[in-house]
Amino acid sequence: MHHCLLHDTVAPMRHGFLLVDKPKGLTSHDVVAAVRRQLSEKDIGHLGTLDPLATGLLVLAVGKKALKVVELFSDLSKTYDASVLFGAVSTTYDAEGTIERREPPKGWMVPDEIIIQCMIADRFVGKIQQVPPAYSAIHIGGERAYHKARQGRGVNIPPREVEITSCDILSYSYPKLALRVACGSGTYIRSLAHDLGDLLKCGGYLEALRRTSVGAWSVEDAVSLDRVSWAQVIPLKEILRTFAKCELSQEEFAHLSCGRDIAGEVTYPAIGWFDDLPVALLEMKNAMVHARKVL
């Protein structure tokens, strides 16, 4: 006789999200590898990469169950503090690339802060078309763009719509401009720096970048890489409390765990709870409640 195993709801849930303050010089994958070692946990991923040059908030999903719900957090807004350097351009649009001085056209004058502010408001706030850098992890024809760029092959990345909700000047003294940017998922601050320099006819690239928030999470609540421990992992039940909640009976949970649908109505994304623990990611299928994923 085939039995469906119920999850062990007594054992502590070593699954959740971890907020890490990424140091400069490491890739997001380096951080994941380091945390895997420190927590002795192989199932770790992140909610959105940060370039090696950037520092700040990297949200990691720790444990199999946490990895299963990453899809719910793919479109979170982000805020950044960015430092732009004018008067030069970079192949990667940041300080990692080959830097080349840009001679401004004859009669060019150093733009004052008001002009820059007006240009930003006019061209870089709201829903805009943005071309990602050639040196980026975007897939072009089944291959990452940076692979093609490194081999000197032409990279033709089509523009995409991104949303910048605000872009404020923190300080400015030519050639340095400090910005605070709030934006939607998929926005490249490197491209913003490059495009602004282009528009001002003096060239520009991203000299430094710090991500200060992802969704409601702030870098102020993040832990440095050398202080990572299980105590800092935010439990999955806390992470998922804000989603629509569907309380399940033991029988309903048993059905869903076995791949059988149950009667009812939910709006995706909804979380099925049993015994005060999140146990399934629910959606509607053929007018029945279906477990898209069993946690």
How many Cα atoms occupy the beta-carbon half-sphere of 160 within 13 Å? 12
Could you give the CA distance from residue 269 to residue 252 in angstroms, rounded to a whole number? 18
Structure tokens at 178: 């400090």
Is 203 within 8 Å of 88 (Cβ atoms)? yes
Phi–psi pair at 169, nearest 5 degrees: -80, 125
Catalytic annotation present for 221: no
114: helix, strand or coil: helix
Please provide the DSSP assignment of 230-283 as one string: GGGSEEHHHHTTTSEEEE--HHHHHHHHTT--BS----SSEEEEETTEEEEEEE
Distance CA 220, CA 274 (A): 33
Q: Find the catalytic residue in 51, 81, 94, 195.
A: 51
169: Cβ contacts below 8 Å, ≥ 6 apart: 113, 116, 117, 120, 177, 178, 179
Q: How far apart are CA 97 and CA 281, in angstroms?
A: 42
> Token match 């946690």: residue?
295
Active-site annotation, residues: 51
